[in-house]
A and B are shown apart, each in its own frame.
Chain A
């Protein structure tokens, strides 16, 4: 399945560019889907949105704001979290982040793998991260100094 990268203008700013993913055949980005699927957790969503706004415009996507090691070793998958809410992302550096999806982590589990829904979201992000990382290594996708993306004509993102 192919996918595309979409800049989230509402969050992007001078300090960081915030992107999300849109899968082939979908109308919405994974970020929009995340907000739609978890709308009952208003407080958590508000906090996550306020932090994305701050990262885009004031602080950049510093590693301290995320939970690390949420994917395979070295693949750059992190989770933005507040209370039990998890939003999986691929963090390139302080200036660039690709947001996937996530969900509410039930209180009775300690690892996301124990929750089928959260596991699906995390695994999906791992596949997306692998594809983006490959494109960056093969220079089909370039992240510029300010976080903007430059793509080659050969770029083909798929999971």
Chain B
């Protein structure tokens, strides 16, 4: 679980505010039943994590059908391997890792030949338009980003992964992760701020 530490470091503050939707506590008794192969317990766990897993997959893949496949395959792996869960970390973290690996694997399989060139992280001191944009506008803008850029942005901002962790997950460098966050942030700003609204994404074309 994430809690703010006494010295209020930036990482701790970030952790508190970036609480993942996966952070769901599962009762020990329910886990024990699932480990014993109880189908009812599996269903309860599935119901609790269905939306977080599906949302993560949709954000990374940008494809509803592919995201449903990830949901199915990830949950199947969770139930097949639940006996290997040692309880040393929260169950939700273990489940999220399985779901994330599944989504990233699919993302690599459907690599859309995006440019992986790195750019310096642009520091933009101005506040973003997302503060006043509605959810629909932000979602449409997000959907227009290239899958890789959107994935890195999502893992960094929403799931709270650090740049080194993201670099490990996607098999790229730390500077790549940083540049994708900067690029994605900039593009989101441009898309939302454009007079026509979030109608197209020029990143992929430009690359």
Partners in one complex: no
Residues of A near any B CB (own CB < 8 A) = none
